[in-house]
Amino acid sequence: MVGTFRPRRMASVALLGALALGLAACGGDYPNSTFNPNSEYNAAIDALWDKLLFWGTLVFIGVEAALVYTIFKFRRRPDGGVPKQVHGNTALEITWTAIPAVILIFIAIPTVRTIFKTQAKAAPEALQVEVIGHQWWWEFRYPQYGITTANELYLPNGRTVNFQLKTIDVLHSFWIPQMGGKRDLISNRTNYLWFTPNKDLPSSAWNGFCAEFCGPSHANMKFRVFTVTVDEFAQWTAHQKQPAIFPAVALAPTTAAPAVAPVPSGTGSTPLLQVAATTTPSTTPADAPAAPVPVWVFPKDKLEKDFAYTIPQTPITNQISFDEALIGKGDAERGRQIYGRSSCIGCHAIAGTPMNMANVGPNLTHVGSRYTIAGGLYPNDTKHLSYWIKSAPHMKPGSIMPSLGKGVTDPKTKMVVNVGGLTDAEVADIVAYLQALK
């Protein structure tokens, strides 16, 4: 039996399918959407998008209406004659050339205006941030404050931020969807990007990405952005400007009983206690060590409650194992000694320790106060840090950091780590030391 084609039934099915797709697109949560402008840069791009969508929709409706009209009006009929030829009709050719030109003018003017606005130089008083792309992690430097950190970017609300974008290897692309702006990092060139987080924006956390394919771990090259109040940013910079403090500095005796100030939430699993005391010149020597500035990072409870989408959920590889009975049992002082004689000092810097001034890998001065490791791929907790130190290449494809665990077969060199390799107990000690670096 030959089936019959039923246009009405097919149209009903198509309409129902389109409606279902439309409803599906409207549902769900999209935390990395670019359509939530939180800076003037993103607002400008969003306004341009709205204009282009409006004019594009009008053009689409007009063209489709003309097309449908033409199909039905001039469809072939059994008794139809030869269609009238329009070749050489000057008026018609001028008309269908002029209409697209006018449409392009309506598109070009707001586009060029937005380009000039977003490509202008940043304000002189802008916060300067150097962004350096590595395979596969991000380095952030604040030259006005003398701060170097990795994979976590703190920005004050209401203050323009001027990014200087550089790469030391291949092409990368710096992108914070909810802040707007996506600009490439090109070898032997410095690109610039600026925007101002909205002044009335509450303290928030956002995801950042590399948007240019740069190798096997391109998708794993992430970072976190924290937009905070001016006062919170001042607290963060005051702490970050300090060198690493290990162990905690003991204060000189004072006339007032010391009170332990609470450590803000989100400072990691090994808190550094800040001691507040009232001192007088007669009781405190002039050369007495100053109290460490309180640790301040974005509150952990707020992060977990309101911005859980920024917390990485990457599973740990099953290609390596670790004695999990040792997790959380390391000795920080012993770890400091092991770290100081290991190959770690050849790649990382820890301010305040003269033997740790390398800049191949991320700066570890305050690594214990960060929320992520491995270019934002894993949470910065004891378990993930233990596995990462034991064999980074197993945890992140293409990682330049070599396998350090004794007995591990490095996936790049295919060689077993023996001489100089770290036992699980030594890794646990190093983890304890790094987590103490608030």
Q: Domain check: are 335 and 418 in the same one?
A: yes
Q: Domain check: are 147 and 99 in the same one?
A: no
Q: What is the pLDDT of residue 267?
A: 39
Radius of gyration, alpha carbons of the chain: 30
Q: Domain check: are 105 and 136 in the same one?
A: no
CB burial of 395-422 (b: ≥16 within 10 Å; e: otherwise) equals bbbbbbbbbbbbebebbeeeeebeeebb
What contacts 366, CB < 8 A, 6 or more positions away? 149, 239, 240, 244, 437, 438
Q: Is the peptide bond before 247 cis (omega within 30 degrees of 0)?
A: yes
H or E element that contains 236: helix 230-240
What contacts 269, CB < 8 A, 6 or more positions away? 328, 381, 382, 435
Band (pLDDT 50/70/90 cuts) for residue 356 is confident
Is residue 275 a part of any domain in this protein? no
User: 202, 237, 272 — which closes off a domain?
Assistant: 237
Is the whole model's pTM more than 0.95, yes or no? no
Q: What angle do CA 328, 333, 338 make, to 5 degrees?
A: 90
pLDDT at 325 over 80: yes
Is residue 65 a part of any domain in this protein? yes
Is residue 263 a part of any domain in this protein? no
Is residue 76 a part of any domain in this protein? no
Q: What is the pLDDT of residue 291?
A: 65
H or E element that contains 259: strand 259-261
- What would you measure as the largest C-alpha separation in the chain, in angstroms? 115
How many Cβ atoms are within 10 Å of 241's Cβ, its own excluded?
A: 14
Q: Domain check: are 159 and 97 in the same one?
A: no
H or E element that contains 227: strand 222-228
Instruction: Tell me the per-residue pLDDT of 222-243, one tens digit each, with 9 for 90 and over.
Output: 999 999 999 999 999 999 999 8
Count: domains in the chain? 3
Q: Domain check: are 148 and 51 in the same one?
A: no
Quote the mean pLDDT of the chain: 84
Is residue 82 a part of any domain in this protein? no
Q: Which domain holds residue 174?
A: 127-237
Instruction: Tell me the per-residue pLDDT of 17-55, one tens digit each, with 9 for 90 and over.
Output: 777 777 666 666 778 888 888 999 988 999 999 989 998
Phi, psi values for residue 333, rounded to 5°:
-65, -45
Instruction: Tell me the per-residue pLDDT of 187-214, one tens digit each, with 9 for 90 and over.
Output: 999 999 999 999 999 999 999 999 999 9
309: left (phi over 0), alpha (psi -120 to 50) or beta: alpha
Q: Domain check: are 142 and 114 in the same one?
A: no
CB 369 within 8 A of CB 267: yes
Is residue 40 a part of any domain in this protein? yes
Q: What is the pLDDT of residue 180?
A: 82
Q: Domain check: are 359 and 405 in the same one?
A: yes
Q: What is the pLDDT of residue 363?
A: 93
Is residue 232 a part of any domain in this protein? yes
Is residue 243 a part of any domain in this protein? no
Question: How far are the Cα atoms of 54, 205, 256, 260, 261 from residue 280, in angstroms, in the given order?
Answer: 69, 41, 10, 19, 20
Q: What is the pLDDT of residue 283?
A: 39
User: 237, 270, 296 — which closes off a domain?
Assistant: 237
Go through the chain and tell me how many residues it has.
Answer: 438
Helix 382-390 and helix 424-436: axis angle, to 10°?
130
